[in-house]
Amino acid sequence: MKCAVSLTFHLFLFALASGFTDPPVPIIDSKGVALSATEEYYVTQLNGGPTAGGLQAGVERDVKCPLIVLQNYNPAFPGEKVKITMRGSNSKRIMTETPLDIEFVKKPACASSSKWVVVNEKTYPGEWLGIGGAADLGAGKKIVEGVFKIEKYLFLEGYKFVFCPKGSTRCFDFARREEKNGKRLILVNITTTPLIFEAEFVKAVKPNSSGVLF
């Protein structure tokens, strides 16, 4: 009996040391349909309040090109459309707990890319979510190497974005920091706070060949 208890205890310690990770499952949109790499989506805040709109590329402070991912303050604004793909995979189904590439469908003319990146800025309190390449950012800013993932968060239908820096054993959440033009998404150590961006994915309606939405 002692041996069995000891073995169970050691397995429990091993599980704690290894971290508990849920197995990958399909990510579901607001209509209960699995996300697809062939579709486009708006990213809004689940159960948002009066200042919780969708995500878009915007400007703040000395960043004149819209390179910062901001949550719009207008709850009626759905944001800009995004595409999500599984990194290193041709799979059309988007899964949790797996490396992803995320980008806005519309690219600003002043940016080399609309793909999401994490930016480290010497004069800003926290690493923030942006788009573009290193040449777009200017002095004092650099792109942090790593991968994005989407994980389940709190409510049954809710999700959160996380970023896993290269060489780190941890992934970090994104919290919202209020600024003049919107709420900037910044990396944080804490995993549960009202400021964490809890995402909902709304499939964008595409026009058919006649230009009519369906």
- Taking residue 68's Cβ as centre, other Cβ atoms within 10 Å add up to 23
7 pLDDT tier (thresholds 50, 70, 90): very low
* pTM value > 0.75: yes
- Rounded Cα distance between 90 and 159, Å, is 23
- Rounded Cα distance between 138 and 83, Å, is 26
Residue with the larger pLDDT of the pair 125 and 80: 80
- Rounded Cα distance between 121 and 186, Å, is 11
- Tens digit of pLDDT for each residue in 11-69? 343 443 444 567 899 999 999 999 999 999 999 999 888 889 999 999 987 788 999 99
Closest CA to 105 of 84, 119, 87, 86: 84
Closest CA to 156 of 18, 20, 19, 25: 25
Least confident of 68-82, 118-132, 143-157, 175-189: 143-157
169: tokens are 């054993």
pLDDT at residue 208, as a whole number? 63
CATH topology of domain 24-203: Trefoil (Acidic Fibroblast Growth Factor, subunit A) (2.80.10)
Amino acid at 180: K
pLDDT at residue 63, as a whole number? 80
pLDDT at 119 over 80: yes
Domain ranges (residues) in the chain: 24-203
Q: Is-contact 111 67, C-beta < 8 A?
A: yes
Percent of the chain residues topping a pLDDT of 70: 85
- Tens digit of pLDDT for each residue in 69-106? 999 999 999 999 999 999 988 889 999 999 999 999 99
- Rounded Cα distance between 29 and 39, Å, is 11
Cα distances from 111 to residues 51, 57, 70, 114, 135, in angstroms, run 27, 11, 16, 7, 9
Q: Encode the chain in three state secondary structure.
A: CHHHHHHHHHHHHHHHHHCCCCCCCECECCCCCECECCCCEEEEECCCCCCCCCEEEEEECCEEEEEEEEECCCCCCCCCCEEEEECCCCCCECECCCCEEEEECCCCCCCCCCEEEEEEECCCCCCEEEECCHHHHCCCEEEECEEEEEEECCCCCCEEEEEEECCCCCCEEEEEEECCCCEEEEEECCCCCCCECCEEEEECCCECCCCCEC
pLDDT at residue 213, as a whole number? 53
Q: Is-contact 190 173, C-beta < 8 A?
A: yes
- Tens digit of pLDDT for each residue in 190-201? 777 778 999 999
